[in-house]
């Protein structure tokens, strides 16, 4: 039955590898999960989920696949009355407990469904029916090491119930970003290269050389690591971007405070980039877009932030700019194409939900720049695109 669970996990974006799956099967063969679905929940999550960001996806997959395997609380009222009575435990010899049969999940589920159809009265201290205090695989307060708990108190709660609580929603990678998360993501842009005349101890090379010298220490010094990444951040501001202003503020604050870039430049625009950019969002100073392209070399990594949503004429027409006192001799889409052609690594972060990306200007811009959602997952994908070789 677990083969279907493998595909269920992959359908929920948990890319389980064959090696990881075989490790889980080996763990089950060795009895690490016992006969408890709760134990299986924790064991499979530990072996198959690579990051806590996917815990919520795992819970969704687990709940989808195993719902119905454990007893729902809506089980018929009469059985609950029987199980609610005081448990009449009987003493069981320890050796006898060792001889109790052990069942796989499919067998347990089938047996339980058969008991529900056949049982007509309460049972206590038995070894077959749904009851209390005995060695039956079904009920509570008894001695059987496996089976299904029905009623009574649970030490850890039903596994499906645990998954349904989705206690890890806050770890999802499609959540709204905060400054700390953005800073951590931005640091992945770093590209350390050994340059300059200042020397530092190269730990890896020293260990390697010492091992080759049969343990005789040989210190290796190399030029220090320096990050040579240059970042250009272009941000849409105002109008339809007002709802996302705080999010963009966090992005700018994080990028500006990460001191690992060799060079960091930022400019603002409204809706589309035209003949000029603004160094400050609320300032009157302008800088020619052509000048920016001339001054910055193609090695700069470029992140553009905006919803890319505007009236089509603003993007595609000359003098389409909506500011009354401004004009543009070159259409915005042309400037975007020039930027994409000039810089080798570009990415667009869009805070608007992806279901709205069918808008004509969004579709057009996404053909020019790789577009990603402005979330932790989207930012990670954008940075991978910017750092790919």
Residue 28, C-beta contacts closer than 8 angstroms, at least 6 positions apart: 2, 40, 43
What pLDDT does residue 275 have?
Answer: 93
**Residue 151: predicted pLDDT:** 46
Report which of residues 156 and 164 the model is more confident about.
164
127-142, pLDDT tens digit by residue?
Answer: 555 545 455 555 444 4
Distance CA 41, CA 38 (A): 5
Mean pLDDT for the chain overall: 75
Q: How do residues 163-177 score in pLDDT, each as one tens digit?
A: 556 555 554 544 455
Per residue in 281-295, pLDDT tens?
776 789 999 999 999
Please name each of the domains of the chain with its CATH number: 2-70+165-171 (no CATH), 77-150 (no CATH), 179-189+228-387 (3.40.50), 198-225 (no CATH)
Whether the pLDDT of residue 330 is over 70: the answer is yes
Q: What are phi and psi of 40, to 5 degrees?
A: -65, -40
Q: What is the mean pLDDT of residues 265-287?
A: 88
Residue 9 backbone dihedrals phi, psi, to 5 degrees: -65, -45
Residue 220, pLDDT score: 79
pLDDT computed for residue 339 by the predictor: 97
So what's the pLDDT on residue 146? 47
HSE toward the beta carbon, residue 274, CA cutoff 13 A:
21
User: pLDDT at position 342, please?
Assistant: 96
Section 328-355 average pLDDT: 93
Name the region of 319 (left: φ>0; alpha: ψ -120 to 50; beta: rest): left
């Amino acid at each position: 039955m677990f083969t279907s669970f493998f595909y269920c996990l992959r359908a929920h974006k948990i890319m389980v590898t064959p090696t990881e799956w075989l490790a889980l099967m080996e763990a089950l063969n060795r009895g690490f999960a016992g006969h408890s679905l709760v134990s299986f929940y924790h064991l499979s999550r530990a072996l198959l989920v690579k990051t806590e960001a996917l815990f919520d996806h795992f819970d969704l997959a687990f709940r989808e696949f195993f719902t119905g395997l454990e007893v729902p609380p809506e089980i018929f009222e009469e059985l609950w009355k029987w199980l609610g009575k005081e448990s009449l435990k009987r003493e069981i010899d320890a050796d006898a407990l060792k001889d109790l049969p052990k069942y796989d999940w499919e067998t347990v589920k089938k047996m339980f469904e058969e008991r529900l159809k056949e049982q007509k009265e309460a049972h206590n201290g038995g070894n077959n029916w749904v009851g209390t205090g005995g060695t039956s695989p079904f009920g509570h307060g008894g001695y059987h090491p496996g089976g299904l708990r029905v009623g009574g108190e649970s030490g850890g709660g039903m596994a499906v119930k645990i998954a349904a609580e989705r206690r890890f929603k806050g770890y999802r990678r499609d959540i709204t970003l905060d400054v700390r998360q953005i800073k951590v993501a931005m640091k992945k842009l770093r590209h350390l290269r050994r340059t300059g005349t200042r020397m530092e101890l190269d730990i890896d090379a020293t260990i390697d050389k010492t091992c080759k010298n049969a343990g005789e220490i040989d210190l290796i010094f190399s030029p220090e690591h320096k990050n040579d990444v240059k970042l250009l951040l272009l941000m849409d501001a105002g109008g339809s971007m007002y709802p996302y202003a705080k999010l963009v503020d966090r992005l700018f604050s994080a990028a500006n405070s990460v001191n690992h870039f060799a060079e960091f430049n930022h400019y603002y625009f409204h809706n589309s980039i035209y003949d000029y950019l603004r160094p400050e969002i609320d300032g009157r100073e302008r800088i020619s877009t052509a000048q920016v392209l001339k001054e910055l070399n193609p090695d700069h990594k470029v992140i553009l932030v905006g919803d890319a949503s505007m009236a089509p004429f603003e993007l595609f027409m000359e003098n389409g700019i909506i500011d009354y006192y401004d004009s543009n001799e070159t259409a915005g889409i042309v400037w975007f194409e020039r930027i994409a052609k000039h810089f080798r690594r570009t990415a667009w972060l869009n805070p608007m939900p992806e279901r709205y990306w069918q808008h004509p200007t969004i579709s057009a811009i996404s053909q020019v720049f790789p577009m990603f959602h402005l979330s932790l997952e989207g930012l990670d994908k954008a940075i991978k695109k910017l750092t790919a070789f």
